[in-house]
Amino acid sequence: MDKNRQLLTVIVLFLALTAILSIVRISISMNNSGAKSKLGFPDNSPGIGVIQIYGPITTSGESGAFSQSGGSDAIVEKLDQMQNDPKIKAVVIRINSPGGTVAATQEIFRKITEMRQQNIPVVASMSDLAASGGYYVASACSYIFANQGTITGSIGVIISSPNFKDLFEKYGISMNVIKSGRYKDILSSSRELEDDERELLQSVIDNTYRQFLKDVSLGRNMPIDEFSDYADGRIFSGSQALEYRLVDEIGTYSDSIKKAKGLARLEDNAPVYLESTSPFDQFFKSLEGRISSFDTPAALLNHSLVEYRYVQ
């Protein structure tokens, strides 16, 4: 009986909290329905939009009660909204990312390129880290700022998988494998990688690496042979990246805002439109994400991915 009362109490408290948060959320929405931008400008004033890319870049990304999704789907959707919003004259992309998966990174790159083709200036602002896939995204932008101590570069591709063969043998563990083709269990953690498998994977990495180089060349308007010698996975400080023409200027987030306004020929006091980061909105978004994730088989999350990633 006591356990049932405790469970009932927890349920009642949770429902009460949900109701309170819903009321607050509605109140916030009502207050913001006719709101001005954070700088006090009317909603229809020409200004610039800001997009944040924080953390690893994947298709869906992760979001929590107090964080935004870093998924390419969400980022591309936000960029698309800004692209089609007549008051957004330029965009600043604030990057703090070690990189991410290939397709997710390329989708963001393509969207930024499309915006530039429509004469919408896009300025990259590198924070602590904009390496590998983070740099890939930045290279698509019209102009790139880095701090002197920003870690960037790491141009390259990696695929990895652990090898537990010796550990399995030590404890007498063996795997029963039934597969439809020779390479279906490539990168299995229970055995050594065969020479032909290594060659196959290397061909995939080399092909993807060439895509990386080609896009950086396109985004930076720089021939591949001018940066290929140091596009070997090495990292740079912001100051070094400026030397190698991987970034355009040493500057802060505020500098990138000013630059975007200048490129869009806006006044210095033009508004900056930021995505709402209400903790209540993020709380409900995170609940929605967690509920849907229960439908995903854990096995599907256990694949090795080809990534643009800075390895510490």
**Active-site residue set:** 132, 184
Residue type, 65: A
Range list of H helices, 84-226: 102-117, 133-139, 165-170, 195-220
Number of H helices, E strands in the chain: 9, 10
Strands (E), the chain: 47-54, 88-97, 99-101, 122-131, 143-146, 151-153, 235-237, 249-250, 272-274, 307-309
Say if residues 73 and 59 touch (Cβ distance below 8 Å).
yes
Say if residues 122 and 263 touch (Cβ distance below 8 Å).
no
Tokens of 215: 């896009």
Cα 49 to Cα 139: distance, rounded to the nearest angstrom: 19
Cα 285 to Cα 63: distance, rounded to the nearest angstrom: 8
Tokens of 46: 């020409």
- Residue indicated by tokens 């990246």: 241
Cα 203 to Cα 210: distance, rounded to the nearest angstrom: 11
b (16+ CB within 10 A) / e for 253-282:
eeebbebbbebbebeeebbbbeeeeeebeb
